Structure 1
């Protein structure tokens, strides 16, 4: 009897073992945890543009408040990102990505994002960043990604660098590739063109929306020379406010050339369109970038230039370069220029919820940046950067005008210097100290105070201590 029971058990186990491969999934887990301690005179843990005074669009993140210098702020914020990938086989997987943000002491026993750091915690604050299928068509060069996913342009993120619902198809063709895609950015939305704002109203899905169409090609001429070209069509079909309907065409070229020990890369973008308002505004803008970097001593030296056109008449914005914005959020930047490595002048890639910058949306700006990243020892490193930033046109994109009348005294926004020293405690855990200071330019001269007693806003600064764990 025992032999029969053992034989039957062995047969059942063998049957189960042979059935497993058809049902088995390969599970992958990735993620990161980052915690910041911050001290600053402008960063209040919020996001959006840094303004010289409290008379602008935001009541926080200012460099002057009711004529009083800003108080020093200190806080700690943390972010966890968790990614789970369910891989059925080499050609099919489901990618999910979640986020939990908190500022210590903010809220508890609540529902909503960016909370749960107060005593008691227990907050429902689980954010969904990505949920999409990633699959290949067997025996073809085709790959598809369908669902809410990260979308980054081929221009260092200055047009779009965001999570969005999209369907993207990529074909690898020899030494090149072509990507074609569609994204619905928002539906029945509120948005601004110039100084006029449409009102959000209920509508039929698909009848008042912003859609983005993407065609992006890349080709490796040699292993050291790469080129690319793109066409992005933004279709703003706001039937609730027909005066602001428009199509924005963005055409770009980009290239990278390696001339050891130097690497050069850059791009050129041109935009055109026409609004359907009574004044029939022609939309024309352009942006350009050139970056050079190479090994020097124990590290890498980098220099970069960025231009994004502006318009002298800020109420029209017809000659302003424009990236994708989020019209359902108070802080609307869904594009960036992280390559600047600025911490105050531009948004920084390490920011959590305290995501403020003087140039929050990339437009009407000219910037030059230099930096050096050094590996002091196998575990210790140091980085130093400087940025020199001005406006293209002296309109009011970056704060209020002079209180005693007249235009800005200069187009120069300011100079930022920043640095970081860090140490790899483990391969996956890094500790670092960061600091940045901006010497504001004459663009901000006499922009606060009163007409009788004009004053300048205070120079912004920030210091941070960070732990960053990636797995």
Structure 2
């Protein structure tokens, strides 16, 4: 009897499997796990801007970890659902709770799974058009200096010969309660009443195998119907390009912004940003030199000539942009950071910087890189800190010089161990900005990291 039952069950399962082949999915799993221990008189496990203000800062030591898990349900080559999740924690932070970026204390057992992405990715039949709709990565074509974030969006991209064009829409905030609505007159409880939207148009074209050019037009609108003083329209227009002439590759971009606020004073935007980078094969490694400019304004308040990148208005102004090409660890946000995401220039604006780096493979498994960055404020104002006398003018516009280095070893193809260190020699911009008119101590950090990707 058992044999008959098993035979019937097997036959039934086989019949169902052959009758509905359209339900078959190709399942893909990807992800990463990163853990590192940090010793620093600057980093403290927090996120955002942190200005050097202490004459004798305490050395702190902590361990952070991050796991990212991606599951892709692929129906066929033209249709798939992409999901991406994240779990962050600092060892010893908290347990038995419900919150993001915690769960590393004894007991663990914390509900802390974050949703980074959930979007549908599909091609429209008989067209060159690909569409992505849902919460997904949204990045500009200017190395992330305007926006580099996860956001709810619809992006449509068409490949046309040697070029491509992308058009998209993203709702960054709906019923915003931080910047767009005043405390006295909120419409935050009504979706669609206090929105911040981003419209994107981006084109690229390969003139030859060595020359590529591109252009983009982004419109950022903030619409607070009940409180028009918080409304504005910001137009960002830019061009970029890349040219290869062995052994050097040169690329860069220029961005210009214009628009107007809805305040009674009708402030007109007019900020701009630019970058130029050169890379060359030198000896066993690659030498890179990059320059960055993002305009500022003498007046520390938002004004018409300061470059304006995208920030997160629902988390108190945190940056949703970056400039990882600088390869800084303290001056700018670092690509390896987890929830402890500190930087002197967390938001990229009012800055002039020059950066030089060298990456070298020492053996098939051992590698090293070193970088130096020279950073100044475009305008001498109070955006980065005050003097003890309350004077917005600082001794200099020079913020400081960062030196950093990394030595790594590939334990396996997917597992890398590395030792990193960074030190910033503060410039005269920070003179007398510590307590009692003293100079703050130069910040430093060291960390050892394991990174596994699959």
Give CA-to-partner distance per residue, 1:70-118, whole Å, 9 cap, x none.
1110000000000000000000000000000000000010000011100
Q: For this pair of structures, how many residues does the alignment match?
A: 452
- Confirm or deny that 1:339 pairs with 2:339: no
Give unpaired runs (5+ residues) of structure 1.
54-63
- Confirm or deny that 1:82 pairs with 2:66: no
In 1, distance between residues paired with 2:74 and 2:146?
Answer: 31
In 2, distance between residues paired with 1:406 and 1:25?
Answer: 61
Secondary structure of the residue aligned to 2:229 is: helix
1:56-455 alignment, distance < 5 Å: 64=54, 69-192=56-179, 198-199=182-183, 201-330=187-316, 332-403=318-389, 405=391, 407-450=393-436, 454-455=437-438
Secondary structure of the residue aligned to 1:170 is: strand
Q: In 2, are the aligned partners of 1:52 and 1:400 still within 8 Å (CA)?
A: no
In 2, distance between residues paired with 1:146 and 1:184?
Answer: 12
Paired position in structure 2 for 1:461: 444
In 1, distance between residues paired with 2:11 and 2:164?
Answer: 50
Q: How far is the alpha carbon of 1:317 from its aligned partner?
A: 2.4
Give CA-to-partner distance per residue, 1:377-430, whole Å, 9 cap, x none.
000000000000000001112222353746101000000000000000000000
Q: How far is the alpha carbon of 1:7 from its aligned partner?
A: 10
Give unpaired runs (5+ residues) of structure 2.
none
TM-score by length of 2: 0.95
Q: How far is the alpha carbon of 1:283 from its aligned partner?
A: 1.1
Q: 1:83 to 1:13 in 2, by over 3 A?
A: closer
In 2, distance between residues paired with 1:307 and 1:203?
Answer: 39
Secondary structure of the residue aligned to 2:309 is: coil
In 1, distance between residues paired with 2:128 and 2:234?
Answer: 31
Q: Which moved more, 1:377-386 or 1:396-405?
A: 396-405
In 2, distance between residues paired with 1:36 and 1:46?
Answer: 15
Q: How far is the alpha carbon of 1:204 from its aligned partner?
A: 2.4
Q: How far is the alpha carbon of 1:12 from its aligned partner?
A: 5.0
In 2, distance between residues paired with 1:443 and 1:6?
Answer: 79
Secondary structure of the residue aligned to 2:406 is: strand
In 2, distance between residues paired with 1:76 and 1:460?
Answer: 19
Give CA-to-partner distance per residue, 1:148-189, whole Å, 9 cap, x none.
000111000000000000000011111111100000000121
Secondary structure of the residue aligned to 2:271 is: strand
In 2, distance between residues paired with 1:165 and 1:271?
Answer: 24
Q: In 1, are the aligned partners of 2:368 and 2:406 still within 8 Å (CA)?
A: yes
In 2, distance between residues paired with 1:39 and 1:7?
Answer: 63
Secondary structure of the residue aligned to 1:184 is: strand
Q: Which moved more, 1:239-248 or 1:268-277?
A: 239-248
Give CA-to-partner distance per residue, 1:349-385, whole Å, 9 cap, x none.
1000110101100100000000000000000000000
Q: In 2, are the aligned partners of 1:52 and 1:399 still within 8 Å (CA)?
A: no
Q: How far is the alpha carbon of 1:50 from its aligned partner?
A: 1.5
Q: In 2, are the aligned partners of 1:408 and 1:442 still within 8 Å (CA)?
A: yes
TM-score by length of 1: 0.92
